[in-house]
Chains A and B, each alone.
Chain A
Amino acid sequence: MDTKKDTNTQNFPVRKIPTWVIAVFPLVLLAGLIALFVNTNPIQVTTSELPPIEDLSFQRVNLTRDHIEIKVTNSGPDQVVIAQIIIDEAYWNFEIDPYNSLGRLESATIHMDYPWVETEPFEIVIITSSGTTFAHEVELATESPTANAQQFLAYGLVGLYVGIIPVGLGLLWFPALRRMSQKGIGFVLALTVGLLVFLLVDTFLEAIEVAHLLPGVFQGIPLTLFAAILTWLIITAIGSQQTIAERSSPRGRKFIASLIATGIGFHNLGEGLVVGAAFALGEAALGSFLVIGFILHNITEGIGIAAPVTRDKPGLSWFTLMLFIAGGPAILGTWIGGFAFSPLLAVIFLGVGLGAIWQVIFEVGLLMQRDAQKENISVVNWVNVLGLAIGIALMYFTAFLVKF
């Protein structure tokens, strides 16, 4: 037999099959094999006696006078049937919307009348049809904010105090920064890096904390990291555009400053979420203390934004823009945290902040290195190390006011 002809007959049937069929074929095979696996169930010996795996996440607990509203999501692989609800070791009546039987990733809202006691904690336990229990502690009972105009304004004001005011005050140091020597500016830039390093760590830890509120299926921590990497790459791509590629030009330095403002903005969004959620979760007593703390804590952020552009003459409108980029998100954050806190959104936002801050540290580092090269000294000199250390120390100690 002719070898060539042989090859042809072998290839012939495959060539005639359309591409989409070839592409779909492995998937069909996969579905078939899974059907086979399930029908024969070779692991039955090990699983036949196992009870269903149930997992229920509390998404949000809203308190109004003598009333509790609980949003829960089934984050496990099996169906969950909510049978009864125990509050502080007592069964209480409830209504559930839409159904008390939740499929995978389905949510339901539970309404119950319960005379909770102002400023005292209580525990909600959901008991499922299999007798499995899921508990949620309301640490400090107080009326949850409802989204009316007055509350909206109040939360906006808190955001203003946490974000806009401290960043604005920090920016007022700009004229003073301009009078500084090259070494002084190096010091302030190093201080900025110090602040940012603190914010990087702080944002990451915050993300880890919020990630734990998420049902396991959403993979909170990986989600934060992916958001961070993506943000970092996007900012790098924007930054590599021709016109702003020259970092030592006034335009380039402004770009770095705006990057810092963006990174700080996302961080402040996270802080806003924390403050808003603290108010919403009934820790309002701590709220005013938290606000004062954040003002002192964030005042240094303004210096960070102003530091790269001390050689330039940015206009008032540019500063205003930076102020809103860096401080404005705090207002947005308090609103989200107060009225619609979602751990999923929070994790993504914090991840974006993480990526942005990381990129800013990198950019400011490059700027310092170029300055150091001009001066013919190492970027890791005592002045810069001291600046970095003081930056971290400033953030660390002012954080005493906002951490518990």
Chain B
Amino acid sequence: MKEKKFSQDTVVNIIFYVIAILMILIVIYPLWFVIIASFSNPADVANGKVWLWPKVIDTRGYGKLFEQKQIWRSYLNTIIYTVVGTLIALVVNISAGYAMSRKDLPGRKFINVFYVIPMFVSGGLIPTYLVVKNFGLLDTFWVMVVPFAVSTYNIIVARTFFETSLPESLWEAAQIDGCSTIRFFVGFAVPLSKAVIAVVGLWTAVGLWNSWFNALIYLQNENLIPLQLLLRRILIANESLLGAATGTMAQELRQLSDMMKYGSIVVSTLPIMMLYPFLQKYFNQGVMIGAVKG
């Protein structure tokens, strides 16, 4: 009897590991393929000759990609939007989270409702567009970093963190010493909450790096568009940045555009992928903090 249980468990275990290894392959192979394809001869890729390693190393795709001024411009834009947007979002959301964690905040219930309603109700696309337009923010740098910096979800995460990890006695003691709320927030609460700042900051940064919808709606100026929107032209609209050509030139140009597709995917995704394994701890922590309150 005992023998049988043991063997059943072993079979289950083996099945689990086989599934896990299959999943690892299914996830990793497409990503690996993009990388090798970006360094391969485009004809080899198109004809299915590249599977595990480039047949010949060919960096023309990257060469052509980096020749494009728009790439550099939009890459820089994305970096600026991400850095500035993350800083603004941190200031706005962490300070709100702290204030809402304080039990002596008068009108706490009402304020809670005020922050939660927008999670479920929104004015919708056009009314929001009209408001942004009336504020004169269309086609400005600021529309990408200020109007939608508030994240109720992140505020709740920060509030939960302060409620559970910042001892109330600390504020009471500081208060007796004549410390004001803002001085306490800047001098004690913030330095003691690096974990939650890292979590909220990382989420915001990834979101900003990957976002394009607001740019699509609110930006027309070529000099302001972020990387993701430029990628839309390369990857989705299949627009060749290299111009038009005919005959055999056209064939080559098409293949070169394909290379640029792989290259642009690598270039745009690499920063996040490189950072991710090191920061995984913080990402996971964030999910846990968020999960506490549901």
Whether A associates with B in a native complex is no
